[in-house]
Amino acid sequence: MATIRELTYDLLRRNGITTIFGNPGSNELPFLQDFPSDFRYVLALHEGVAIGIADGYAQATGRTALVNLHSAAGTGNAMGGLANAWNSHSPLVVTAGQQTRAMIGIEPLLTNLDATMLPKPLVKWSYEPARAEDVPLAMSRALHLSSLPAAGPVYLSIPYDDWAKTAEPDSLRLLGRTVSAAGALDAGAATALAARLDRSTNPVIILGPDVDAARANAHAVTLAERLAAPVWVAPSAPRCPFPTTHPNFRGLLPASMAGISRLLAGHDLVLVAGAPVFRYHEYESGPLLPDGAELIQITCDPDEACRAPMGDAIVGDVGLILAALAATVCKAARPAPQPRTTPSPVAPGTAPLAAERVLELIAAIAPRDAIYVNESTSTIEAMWERMRWENPGSYYFGAAGGLGFAMPAAIGVQLAEPDRQVIALIGDGSANYSVTALWTAAQHDVPVVFVIMRNGTYGALRWFAGVLKAHGVPALDVPDIDFVAIATGYGLEAVRVETDDAFAAALARAIEGRRPCLIEVATAWTTP
C-alpha cells in the first residue's frame, strides 16, 4: 500500500496540480523528499511572495493552486497575501508543516499552536487531521472545497511524520472522485429576471471581478448592448470584467456611498453582477442608492448576497446567469449610451514624466492582448481611463487593499499565460513589499516586464491624508531607492529612464526580448 505522501501526490496529479509554490522549512522536508520528476516547485524567497505567485496563477487559470508554507511563522508571513486571495475568490490550498506528533504536546520549536485558528477568518476551511490516515481525505476535501463557489483559500496543517505512514486502502477511492457545482437559473426564473430588466426605463449595469473570473465578459457585453445600458466597474475592482474600449463603458465607480449614488442618479434599476454591493473605502456619507432606484445582485458568494444592505440578490453561477439573461432580454428601443469622454493625451515631456504619459506610451507599445498587474495605487483612476483592456483576464489588482500583491502575482499570471505579455505596473512604495519576487522571475526565466513608477512617495497615502485632513503625517516619502541595482542583484536586466523616448525604447526592447526585466521610470506625483 502507498504511503500518505505517495497517495497525496497521486491525488494532486488526478486533480491537475503538478506545480507547487512555496518557501519550505524543516517541517516541510518529509513531504518534498524524492520530489517527483513530473512536478515543478516554484521557490519564492518569502512566504508572502509564494502565496502571491500562487494567487496570480490560480486567478489566471481558474484552477486551484497549491502553496507550501512553513509552520506558524511562514503562515504569518503569508497572511497579507491570504487576505488578497480571500477577497479575490482565489482557489488555493495552503499547506503548512506541523511539528512531529510525538512532540506537539510539549510545544517544541516550530510547533503550529492552535494551527486551525491562525489563518482565520481568511480561509473557507482550516484543518489539522486528527491522525495521519486522515491526511488524504483532508487533502481531497481541501482541493474540492477551494474551487466550489465561492472559490477561496483553504488551509491544512500537517505534522511532518504523517507523510511516511501507510495510507488506508479505502483512501484509494479518493482518486476517482469528482465534485461539481451547478448554479444556473431555471427557465422560469431567468424569464422573470429578464422581464424585470425589460420593464426598466433606464437600467445601469455594474460589473465586478467574478464576471472576469467566470470568463463571462462577452455575455456582459451582449446584455449591455441589448439593454442599451451604460456599464460601470464596481469600486476597487481587482479585475476588468468589460472592455474599456466599448462605447457602453463608463469607468470605475468611486468607493464611497455618496459618490456612487451621484453617478447612478436617474437610473431606475441597478444590476450588479460578480461584485459585492458595494465595497466602500472613503467615507462619504450619503444614500446607498439614488431615489427611485432598485437593485438586483448576481453573485457566486452567499456571504456577499447576505451582507448587502439593499436590493435583491441571486446566488449562482455568474457566467451561466449572465448568458441566460443576454439570450432572454428583449432588445431595448432606447438609443445606446453615448461613448464616454476620454482624456486628452498628455504632451511629451522629460523627467519626471507624468504618470499618465507613461501609461499612454505603454498602451501604444504593448501588444493589444497584454495583461496588466497593477500596484501603482495612485494611478488607478488614470489606468481605467487610458488603458485598453479588451480581452478576459487582462487586469489584476490586489483585492484586500494591502501591498505586496502585484510583483509576485505577475509571475503567477505569466506562468499561467505564457503566450501573452504580462506587464507589472508598480509604485516605488509598493515594490518594497515583495521585491524578492524578482529573484523567482529570474530563476524561472518568467518574462514579466516590471515597470517601477518612481515618484519617491506613498502617493495614494498622501492623497488619502488630504481626504482625511490629516496634516503633518510623517513617513510618507521613500526616497533614494535604487531599483535598478536591486533588480540587477537578483539577476534581472534593468534600466533607469527619464524621457519619453528612453522609456518607449526600453519597453519595446523588453517586450521583444521575452526575458524578465525591470524599467525604473521617474514620474511626477499628482493627486489622483
Active site residue 274: no
Q: Which helix (H) or strand (E) holds 524?
A: strand 517-524
Annotated catalytic residue, options 401, 402, 456, 491? 401
14-44 in b/e form (b: 16+ CB < 10 A) is ebebebbbbbbbebbebbbeeeeeeeeebbb
CA–CA gap between residue 389 and residue 391 (Å, rounded): 6
Active site residue 401: yes
Annotated catalytic residue, options 16, 26, 107, 381? 26
Concatenating the DSSP letter of every residue in 167-182 gives PPGGGGGGGG------
Active site residue 26: yes
- DSSP 8-state code for residue 403: S
Concatenating the DSSP letter of every residue in 177-234 gives -------PPPHHHHHHHHHHHHH-SSEEEEE-HHHHHTT-HHHHHHHHHHHT--EEEP
Active site residue 281: yes
- DSSP 8-state code for residue 241: -
The answer to whether residues 493 and 515 touch, using CB atoms and an 8 Å cutoff, is yes
Active site residue 471: no
Which amino acid is it at 253?
A: L
Annotated catalytic residue, options 47, 360, 375, 520? 47
CA angle 463, 468, 470 (to 5 degrees): 85
Active site residue 47: yes
C-alpha cell at 120: 482565520
Active site residue 70: yes
CA dist 278 → 25, 164, 240, 307, 404 (Å) = 40, 48, 16, 10, 24
CA–CA gap between residue 253 and residue 265 (Å, rounded): 13
The answer to whether residues 279 and 234 touch, using CB atoms and an 8 Å cutoff, is yes
CA–CA gap between residue 332 and residue 334 (Å, rounded): 5
Q: Helix 406-416 vs helix 47-61: angle between axes, to the nearest 10 degrees?
A: 40
Is residue 28 classed as helix, strand or coil in its secondary structure? Answer: helix
The answer to whether residues 422 and 371 touch, using CB atoms and an 8 Å cutoff, is yes
Annotated catalytic residue, options 22, 25, 81, 398? 25
Q: In which residue are the cell numbers 470568463 written?
A: 215
CA–CA gap between residue 406 and residue 211 (Å, rounded): 20
50-82 in b/e form (b: 16+ CB < 10 A) is bbbbbbbbbbbbebbbbbbbbbbebbbbbebbb
Annotated catalytic residue, options 76, 168, 259, 281? 281
Catalytic residues: 25-26, 28, 47, 70, 281, 401
